[in-house]
Amino acid sequence: MSENKHLREHYKEKTLFLNRVLISSLIGLFLLIIIVIRLIQLQVLEYDNFSQKAQGNRINLRATLPPRGSIFDRNGNILAENITAFQLEIIPEQVIDINETFEALLNLHLIDPIQIETLKKQIKKTQKFRSITLRSNLNDEEIARFAANRANFSGIDLKPRLIRHYPYKEYTSHVVGYVGSISKKDQLRLNQSFYHPDEKTGKTGTEYFNETKLHGKPGYYQFIANARGREISLNKDRKNNIFLENKQALPGANIFLTIDLNLQILATKLLNGRRGSVVAIDPNNGQVLTLVSSPAFDPNIFNENLTTDKYNDLQQNTDQPLFNRAVLGTYPPGSIIKPILGLAALQLGVTNLTQRHICKGYYSLPGNTHRYRDWLSSGHGSINLHNAIAQSCDVFFYEIGGQIGIDRMHDYLDQFGLGQKTNIELAGERTGLIPSTSWKKNMFSKKEDKTWFPGETVIASIGQGYMLATPLQLASATAALATRGQRYKPTLISAIENPINSEKIITESQKLNRIKVDSQSYWEEIISAMHNVMQGSGTAKNVGSGAPYEMAGKSGTVQVVSVGQEEEYDRESLDERFQDHALFVAFAPLNNPEIAVAVIVENGNSGSRVAAPIAKSIMDEYLGY
């Protein structure tokens, strides 16, 4: 009985084993069929497709960077160029010990200890055979130091590279700008197919605004790569060489600015590090002759391994050397607007060429005891429009400003381009502000703040209160006065040069709407009064008298802090940064103007004593005196 049972169990086990073998064989056969089908699909049916992909993986493209276009002034002086500099590079796979190597470089003062962790992270995420920059723009001493110790370093070497160089440093930093590494913000505005991650892009000034023109078009070359992307060489007789291409990069365009380098240097020296700005314009075409913001900075520092701490020091500097005051700085224009308001008063019939007003040294609104004081406490006595401009009588303009009204004042100043962008070829230009009743109504949320009060018109009549303008706007408005109403769009670009054939595209001047005035005599009266400011009995007579040419100007001194009704304004007791701003605008020659200038010296105290001599020196230089 037990023997039969044993035979039956043996039979079941054998049957189970055979079944398992059969099932396994079927599964194996099924998988083999799938593999065969897939191989047929890959090697026969989709051969062409995968062959092209394999070829694409094998033949790689590497970009060749285009030389950046140069920047010149109007006379051909080079303001931005490319020069060869040496940078320290590492190929990680050739370095035996990264930590020891960094330690040795630190001892030679060739790398910054702050950058080590960043460099290590970069090495980890980069293919080991690719070169990584450790330091750029090494000076002669650092080059010599590394060369003397070159034998101690494997995988590290000096490589020549083109870098941006600005020969005139602080003199042109704000108008030319500088280049820097591509940030995430830059990636949003740039065509990434044109840029290499290690490239630099314009950050400010002309470098930023004209990036697409200056950059050029990258080239490329094909190379054979292995599975890891490493470039490998081929025998010259290999047929695969027919796939290799080499397309040359196209250099960026050269840009000629309207700037006069001599004026840039002079204006910077005249400001002498004080906070302020000088802008000069050719009234006949809108070309900007000089655009200076002070204090300035050396743009070359951004090619000298600028650390985050050093950059933060620049940004946090209380004098704001990175801030372009010429187009970003907004200031109350003060008495600078008086000639324009005088013209408006004549045009609107608020006053005439002979009408006289009485200046007692203060002005009060009807039914109000508050006194709006004149800069001359004793008053100017009986005074007409001509002398009110020449002597800068505040009371005269308090009166006519109230009669003109804030909305008509806004409309007239608007015609001269105040309170609006000039659309010059620089990024971030501010609009300034010429207030109006509708502006205030829309600006404030509280009902009681929406009302425009008569006292605010009084203050606006001498260019203070809410009113703000940039130095560029003031220069442009002065140019419009010089031409008796013909305005031009301010421009910085004189010409763009093709680097291949040296052909230049000249920038045409762009006329704007002419300011309409009923009588030419109104223009001549205002300009005669401005002439009197500098070469008659006016506020800046000490600056303009004795000059070999005729000129016109207007001073402005703007309070930074206000004082109470009964308080004396003691300038000597005020902190330097609370002193009045000094402003001056001028143009020359009187009847055939060639240059219009606006000068602002922050906390300079007196427009006629501090800002006017700067404007006069700029005109002397440009006119050849």
Write out pLDDT tens, residues 186-223: 888 888 777 777 788 999 999 999 999 999 888 766 65
Q: What is the pTM of this model?
A: 0.83
Cis peptide before 589 (omega within 30 of 0): yes
| C-alpha closest to that of 138 among 111, 113, 115, 156 | 111
User: Band of the pLDDT at 624, cuts 50, 70, 90?
Assistant: very high
39 in helix, strand or coil?
A: helix
- How large is the average pLDDT for residues 68-77? 96
| C-alpha closest to that of 475 among 201, 304, 281 | 281
- Give the count of beta carbons closer than 10 Å to the beta carbon of residue 361: 16
Cα distance between residue 256 and residue 71, in whole Å: 6
Catalytic residues: 335
- How large is the average pLDDT for residues 323-347? 96
What angle in degrees, to the nearest 10, is found between the helix axes of 98-107 and 116-124? 150
Q: Which of 61-70, 377-386, 412-421 has the lowest mean pLDDT?
A: 61-70
User: Band of the pLDDT at 447, cuts 50, 70, 90?
Assistant: confident
pLDDT of residue 325: 96
Terminal-to-terminal C-alpha distance of the chain: 137
| C-alpha closest to that of 283 among 598, 614, 625, 612 | 598
Write out pLDDT tens, residues 215-269: 988 876 665 655 555 555 555 444 444 446 677 888 999 999 999 999 999 999 9
Top mean pLDDT of 116-125, 237-246, 536-545, 559-568 is at 536-545
Write out pLDDT tens, residues 553-588: 999 998 876 545 455 555 566 677 778 889 999 999
Q: What is the DSSP letter of 68?
A: P
- How large is the average pLDDT for residues 310-325? 89
166 in helix, strand or coil?
A: coil
Top mean pLDDT of 43-47, 116-120, 249-253 is at 249-253
- How large is the average pLDDT for residues 84-103? 83
- How large is the average pLDDT for residues 342-370? 92
Q: Which of 55-59, 143-147, 507-511 has the lowest mean pLDDT?
A: 55-59
Would you say residue 474 has pLDDT above 70? yes
pLDDT of residue 247: 75
Based on the number of CB atoms within 10 Å of its own CB, is 215 exposed (0-12), middle (13-18) or buried (19 or more)? buried
- How large is the average pLDDT for residues 456-485? 96
Would you say residue 542 has pLDDT above 50? yes
pLDDT of residue 574: 66
Would you say residue 345 has pLDDT above 90? yes
- How large is the average pLDDT for residues 108-120? 81
Q: Return all residues near 269 (Cβ < 8 A) that are at least 6 apart.
A: none
CA distances from 601 to 353, 557, 561 (A): 33, 10, 16
Q: Please compute, for residue 430, the number of CA atoms within 13 A of its CA located in the half-sphere on the CB side.
A: 17
pLDDT of residue 237: 47
Supply 542's token pair: 């000490």
pLDDT of residue 221: 63
Supply 623's token pair: 């006119």
Write out pLDDT tens, residues 419-439: 999 999 999 999 999 999 999
Q: For residue 159, what are the β-bridge partners?
A: 87
pLDDT of residue 422: 97
Q: What's the mean per-residue pLDDT of the chain?
A: 87
pLDDT of residue 239: 46
pLDDT of residue 232: 59
Contact (CB, 8 A) for 386 and 529: yes
- How large is the average pLDDT for residues 17-24? 80
pLDDT of residue 189: 85
pLDDT of residue 59: 59
Based on the number of CB atoms within 10 Å of its own CB, is 38 exposed (0-12), middle (13-18) or buried (19 or more)? exposed
Write out pLDDT tens, residues 272-293: 999 999 999 999 999 999 999 9
Would you say residue 411 has pLDDT above 50? yes
Task: Considering only residues 15 and 378, tell me which one the structure prediction assigns the higher pLDDT.
Answer: 378
